[in-house]
Amino acid sequence: MTSNPTWVLKRFPEGMPGPDDFSLEHRDPPVAKPGELVVRTLWLSVDPYMRARLSPAKNYAAGQKIGEMMRGGGVGEVVASESPLFQPGDIIQADDFGWQPVTTVAAKTAIRLDPASAPVQTSLGCLGMPGLSAYFALLHVGRPKEGETVLISAASGAVGQIAGQIARIKGFDPVAVAGSDAKIDWCRSIGYRTGINHRTAGDLIEAIARACPSGVDVFMDNTAGPIHDAAMLNLNTFGRIVVVGTVALADRFDQPDIGPRFLRRILVARARIEGFLLDDFEAQYAEARSQLTRWYREGLLEAREDVAEGIEAAPHAFIRMLKGENFGKQLVKV
C-alpha cells in the first residue's frame, strides 16, 4: 500500500458534527515502534462517547486535538509486530485504532480474538464495550429485582438491544423506547414486552404510563433529553436512574443541559440517579465477557448491526449514529 487514507479532525463541531468537521488525508502507511503492532483494519466502531471527545471542554476522556487522527474501537489483522505478545496473522481488537486502513496499535491494549468463537465484529458490539456497558449498567448499577419494570431508551441501539435481552433473561420486565415502529418491532422480537416510538407517541409522559402501568422501577437512560424527563414523572418509589449516555444532546454538546428540575420528585420517591462509566468495572470484564459469550453461543443474545462500507464512510456513519438513524450497532467495514 502506497497511500493510507486517514481521517483527521479539521475543527471542533458547533452543535451536531458534520462531514466538513473532518478531513481525509493521504498518509504513508505507519511503521511499528517497540511495543506496537501494525494492523490491517477490518472493522471500525463509532460510538456516542466519541462526541464528547470532539470538544475543547474538559471531559473524563482525553479530547481530540485539531489535526489529530480520529481514533476509536476497531478489529484488524496483525501484519507486523514489535511485541512478543502477538504474531502476524493474529486477529485483534483494541480501542485505539486510527480511522485508516492500516494503523498502529499498542500491543498492551490489544485483545486476541478467536474467529471460530464468534464473528470478530461482535467484539465491538454485543461481546465488547456496548455489551459490557449493558451488563454492568443494568445489573450492577440499576440492580433490578425479578419482575420489576425496566425502561430503556435507545432500546434498539448497541447498548439498548443487549440490555433488553439481559433483562428478559433475568426475569425483569423490559420496555423499549426507540425512534421508529420498525425499531420497536425489532425490540419486541428480542424480548421487550412492549415499546414506545418517541417520535410519534405524542405525550411521552402518558405513553410511558400506558406502557408501564405499574410504574418504572429502573430507567436505563441512553439518551437524556425529553425521554428522561418523561421517565422521571413515571418513576416508582425507590426507583433508579442509570445515566449511560446523553446522545440526545449531541447537537448542543457545549451548551447547558436545561430542562425541568425534579428535586421534589426525587425526594418524595427516594430515587437514585447514578452516572455510569464502563471503566469503573474493568476488574470484572473477564467475568462479564464470559457470561455474554455464553448467552450468545446458546442463542439467547441477538445483535443487529448497521454496517457502512469503506474507510470513506467513517464520518458519515458516526454522524448518522448520533442522529439516531442507525438500526443496531453502527459499524464501518473497512
Higher pLDDT, residue 228 or 52: 228
The reply to whether 286 falls in a domain is: no
Q: What is the pLDDT of residue 57?
A: 74
Question: Does the structure show a pLDDT above 80 at 275?
Answer: yes
Check whether residue 71 and residue 163 sit in a common domain: no
Check whether residue 79 and residue 170 sit in a common domain: no
Q: What is the pLDDT of residue 240?
A: 97
Average pLDDT over residues 189-213: 97
Check whether residue 27 and residue 110 sit in a common domain: yes
Question: Distance (Å, rounded) from C-alpha 187 to C-alpha 176?
Answer: 7
Secondary element (H or E) of residue 97: strand 91-98
Residue with cell 405525550: 203
Over the chain, what is the mean pLDDT? Answer: 93
Q: What is the pLDDT of residue 53?
A: 87
pLDDT digits (tens, 9 = 90+) for 71-115: 999 999 999 999 999 999 999 999 999 999 999 999 999 999 999
Check whether residue 237 and residue 160 sit in a common domain: yes
Check whether residue 138 and residue 263 sit in a common domain: yes
Check whether residue 117 and residue 137 sit in a common domain: no
The reply to whether 47 falls in a domain is: yes
Three-state secondary-structure class, residue 204: helix
pLDDT digits (tens, 9 = 90+) for 113-157: 999 989 999 999 999 999 999 999 999 999 999 999 999 999 999
pLDDT digits (tens, 9 = 90+) for 161-175: 999 999 999 999 999
Check whether residue 150 and residue 73 sit in a common domain: no
The reply to whether 158 falls in a domain is: yes
The reply to whether 115 falls in a domain is: yes
Question: Distance (Å, rounded) from C-alpha 239 to C-alpha 181?
Answer: 28
Residue 247 belongs to domain with CATH number: 3.40.50.720
Check whether residue 142 and residue 238 sit in a common domain: yes
The reply to whether 284 falls in a domain is: no
Check whether residue 138 and residue 239 sit in a common domain: yes
Residue 91 belongs to domain with CATH number: 3.90.180.10
Confidence band of 248 (pLDDT split at 50, 70, 90)? confident
The reply to whether 213 falls in a domain is: yes
What pTM does this model have? 0.89
Question: Does the structure show a pLDDT above 90 at 288?
Answer: yes
Residue with cell 433483562: 167
Flag the least confident range among 58-62, 101-105, 134-138, 311-315.
58-62
Average pLDDT over residues 20-45: 96
The reply to whether 58 falls in a domain is: yes
DSSP string, 8-74: EE-S--SSS--GGGEEEEEEPPP-PPTTEEEEEEEEEE--THHHHHSSSS--SSPPPPTTPBPEEEE
Structural domain range at position 320: 4-123+304-333
Tell me which of 244, 264, 279 is where a domain ends: 279
Q: What is the pLDDT of residue 334?
A: 95
Confidence band of 306 (pLDDT split at 50, 70, 90)? very high
The reply to whether 293 falls in a domain is: no
Check whether residue 86 and residue 197 sit in a common domain: no
Provide the 10 A C-beta neighbour count for residue 206: 13
Q: What is the pLDDT of residue 285?
A: 95
Question: Distance (Å, rounded) from C-alpha 21 to C-alpha 69?
Answer: 12
Tell me which of 263, 279, 295 is where a domain ends: 279
Check whether residue 35 and residue 98 sit in a common domain: yes
**Residues 78, 87 contacting (CB under 8 angstroms):** yes
pLDDT digits (tens, 9 = 90+) for 5-27: 999 999 999 889 999 999 999 99
Confidence band of 221 (pLDDT split at 50, 70, 90)? very high
Q: What is the pLDDT of residue 263?
A: 85
Specify whether the backbone of 207 is left (phi greater than 0), alpha (psi in -120 to 50) or beta: alpha
Q: What is the per-residue burial (b if ≥16 Cβ within 10 Å, else e) of 230-239? A: bbbebbbeeb
Check whether residue 117 and residue 255 sit in a common domain: no
Q: How many domains does the chain have?
A: 2
